[in-house]
A and B are shown apart, each in its own frame.
Chain A
Amino acid sequence: MKLNLKVWRQKGAETGGKFETYTVEANEHMSFLEMLDVLNEQLIAEQKEPVSFEHDCREGICGTCSMVINGHPHGPMKGTTTCQLHMRHFNDGETITIEPFRANAFPVIKDLVVDRSAFDRIIQAGGYISVNTGQAQDGNSIPIEKELASEAFDAATCIGCGACVAACPNASAMLFTSAKISHLNMLPQGEVEAAQRVLNMVDQMDAEGFGACSNVTACEAECPKDISVKNIARVNREYFAATLASERVSKK
Chain B
Amino acid sequence: MNWFTRFLTSSIGKKLIMSLTGLFLCLFLIVHLAGNLQLLLDDGGNAFNLYAYTMTHNPLIKAVSYGTYFFIILHAIQGIVLALQNRKARNSKYAVKVTRTTGTSSFAARQMALLGSLILIFLGIHMGDFWWKMKSNQTNTLTIEGIEVQDLYEKVAASFSVEWIVAFYVVAMIGLCFHLLHGFQSAFQTLGLNHKKYTPFIQLLGKGFAILVPTLFALIPLYFYFVK
| A-to-B contact residues, CB < 8 Å | 6, 8, 19, 68, 70-72, 76, 97, 99, 102-105, 167, 169-172, 174, 202-203, 205-206, 209-218, 220-222, 229-230, 232-240, 243, 248-251
Residues of A within 8 A of B195 (CB): 230
Neighbour of A172 across the interface among B89, B110, B185, B194, CB < 8 A: B89
* Interface stretch (choices B96-104, B121-129, B151-159, B163-171): B96-104
A234 and B186 alpha carbons, distance in the complex (Å): 14
Give the complex CA separation of A230 and B197 in angstroms: 12
Q: Contacts of B12 on A, CB cut-off 8 Å?
A: 202, 212-213, 235-236, 239-240
Q: Binary interface profile of B, 193-207, with partner A (CB < 8 Å = 1, else 0)?
A: 111000000000000
Q: Is the CB of B89 within 8 A of A102?
A: no
User: B137: which A residues are within 8 A, CB to CB?
Assistant: none
Contact across chains for A104 and B88 when beta carbons are under 8 A apart: yes
Report B-chain residues with C-beta under 8 Å of the C-beta of A70.
Answer: 96, 98
Question: Could you say which residues of chain A place their CB within 8 Å of the CB of B101?
Answer: 216-218, 221
| Chain B interface residue count, Cβ-Cβ cutoff 8 angstroms | 46
Taking CB as reference atom, which chain B residue is nearest A108?
A: B92
Q: Quick one: CB contact mask for B117-147 with A, threshold 8 Å, 1 for yes?
A: 0000000000000000000000000000000
- B189 contacts A170, CB within 8 Å? no
List 23 interface pairs A-B (beta carbons < 8 Å), by A numbering.
A71-B97, A72-B100, A99-B95, A102-B92, A103-B90, A169-B109, A169-B110, A171-B86, A210-B89, A211-B11, A211-B90, A213-B11, A214-B82, A215-B185, A215-B189, A216-B104, A218-B100, A221-B100, A236-B15, A236-B191, A239-B10, A248-B3, A250-B2
Closest to A106 in B: B90
A212 to B190, CA, bound (A): 11
A211 cross-chain contacts in B, Cβ below 8 A = 11, 85-90
Main secondary structure of the interface of A (DSSP, over half): mixed
State how many angstroms separate the Cβ of B1 from the closest Cβ of chain A.
5
Whether B186 and A236, one on each chain, are in contact in the complex, defined by CB atoms closer than 8 angstroms, is no
Is there contact, CB below 8 Å, between B190 and A215? Answer: yes
The answer to whether B57 has its CB under 8 Å from any CB of chain A is: no
Cα–Cα, bound, A249→B85 (Å): 27
**Nearest CB of B to A68, in Å:** 6
Identity of the chain A residue whose Cβ is nearest the Cβ of B92 in the assembled complex: A102
A213 close to B15 (CB less than 8 A): yes
Closest beta carbon of chain A to B97's beta carbon, Å? 5
Asked if B190 contacts A171 (CB within 8 A), the reply is no
For residue B223, CB closer than 8 A to chain A, the reply is no
Please give 7 more A-B residue pairs, beta carbons under 8 A apart, in addition to A220-B102, A229-B189: A102-B93, A169-B86, A206-B10, A210-B89, A212-B86, A214-B82, A218-B101
Which A residues touch B10, using CB under 8 A?
202-203, 206, 239
> Which residues in B have their C-beta under 8 angstroms from that of A19?
95
| A105 and B89 form a contact (CB under 8 A) | yes
Cβ contacts under 8 Å, A71 to chain B: 94, 96-98
Least distance between B16 CB and chain A CB atoms (Å): 7
Question: Contact at A103–B95, with CB atoms within 8 Å?
Answer: no
For B1, B89, B103, the residue with the greatest tally of chain A CB atoms inside 10 Å of its CB is B89
A171 touches B90 (CB 8 A): yes
Q: Which residue of the partner chain, among A8, A72, A103, contacts B89 with CB atoms under 8 Å?
A: A103
- A170, A206, A214: residue with the most chain B Cβ atoms closer than 10 Å: A214
Q: Which residues of B contact A167 (CB under 8 A)?
A: 99-100
CB pair A243–B7 under 8 Å, yes or no, is: yes
Known: A104-B90, A229-B189. A215 touches B104 (CB 8 A): yes
Please judge, given known A-B contacts A68-B94, A99-B95, whether A215 and B182 are in contact too, CB under 8 Å.
Answer: yes
Complex contacts, B193 vs chain A, CB 8 Å: 233, 237
> Across the interface, do A104 and B194 meet the contact criterion of CB distance under 8 Å?
no
> Given that A97-B95, A233-B193, A251-B1 are contacting pairs, would A216 and B11 also be in contact in the complex, using a CB cutoff of 8 Å?
no
Q: How far is the CA of A216 from the CA of B103 in the complex (A)?
A: 9
Considering the complex, give the chain B residue whose CB is closest to the CB of A248. Answer: B3
Residues of A within 8 A of B97 (CB): 68, 71
Q: Are A230 and B89 in contact (CB under 8 A)?
A: no
Q: Roughly how many angstroms separate A241 CA and B88 CA in the complex, as a whole number?
A: 29
Cβ contact of A214, chosen from B91, B93, B94, B109, cutoff 8 A = B109
Q: Which of B82, B97, B112 gathers most chain A CB within 10 Å?
A: B97
Q: Which residues of A contact B96 (CB under 8 A)?
A: 68, 70-71, 97, 99
B59 at the interface (CB under 8 A from A): no
